[in-house]
Amino acid sequence: MDDGTKLKETFFALGLSGANVTVPHKEAAFAACDEVRGFAKEIGVVNTLVNENGKLIGYNTDADGFMYAISEFTNLQNILIIGAGGTAKALAAKFLQEGLSVTVLNRSEGRLEYFKSLGTKCFDWKNFKLEKYDLVVNTTSAGLKDEELPAPQEMIEQILENSRYVADAIYGKLTPFLQLAQQKGLHYKDGADMLLGQGVLANEYFTDFQLNKEDIKRAMQQSFAL
């Protein structure tokens, strides 16, 4: 679906009981809901929709799914998020809740106001100041359908040379961003584990918590292998 404004109409027209929402419609999903609950309410971003007695209820499982995905990354303190969309909002808020230092880098300054209100460090490509990072996360769509990097190559090279871990929200493809991380010998993850983690949590909502988390995880892992 290309038109996010028709999300609610389409959801009920298809007779769905639940659905996941991906970029670029997560903020439109928030606006479409009759009620938003939990973490999604804090950040204004919805990735999980549930039909509850004819009402569209919104949740966000991105952040907890991501934390699940990077559980093996240890001693995280300083995080750089590249991008300023819905996924970036969820991760920034979650990292701050965990007591971590967060920097957000976006192409332009226009979408950074939310992150400034959270208290993160914010930069655009023109004023970026490099630091050392424990983890760098690409939340942009760069590399999804092209060979683009999420920022100018020289900037990305410098960032990776000053980072310990790297993650990309894109899954099913070794993006140019992750290829550079691989070349530099960095420990990296694509978005597959994040997708799995958020999907397990989303399916708990879909089934009204009637299924065991491990059973959902096992079924999802089997579907990924198909």
Sign of CA dihedral 78, 123, 44, 66: negative
Domains by residue range for the chain, with CATH: 4-61+193-224 (3.40.50.10860), 64-191 (3.40.50.720)
Question: In this model, does residue 4 exceed pLDDT 80?
Answer: no
pTM of the complete model: 0.85
Question: How far is it, in rounded angstroms, from Cα 168 to Cα 155?
Answer: 17
- Residue-wise pLDDT for 8-42, tens only, equals 999 999 999 999 998 778 889 999 999 999 999 98
Q: What is the pLDDT of residue 104?
A: 98
Q: Which residues are catalytic?
A: 26
Question: In this model, does residue 105 exceed pLDDT 60?
Answer: yes
- Give the β-pairing of 48-52 and 18-20: antiparallel
The pLDDT-based confidence of 117 (bands split at 50, 70, 90) is very high
* Cβ atoms within 10 Å, residue 104: 26
- Residue-wise pLDDT for 65-97, tens only, equals 899 889 899 999 999 999 999 889 999 999 999
The overall average pLDDT reported for the chain is 92
User: Does 176 sit behind a cis peptide bond, omega within 30 degrees of 0 on the bond before it?
Assistant: no
- Residue-wise pLDDT for 125-180, tens only, equals 999 999 999 999 999 999 988 899 999 999 999 999 999 999 999 988 899 999 99
Q: What is the pLDDT of residue 222?
A: 86
Q: What is the pLDDT of residue 2?
A: 62
Mean pLDDT of 196-208: 91
The pLDDT-based confidence of 212 (bands split at 50, 70, 90) is confident
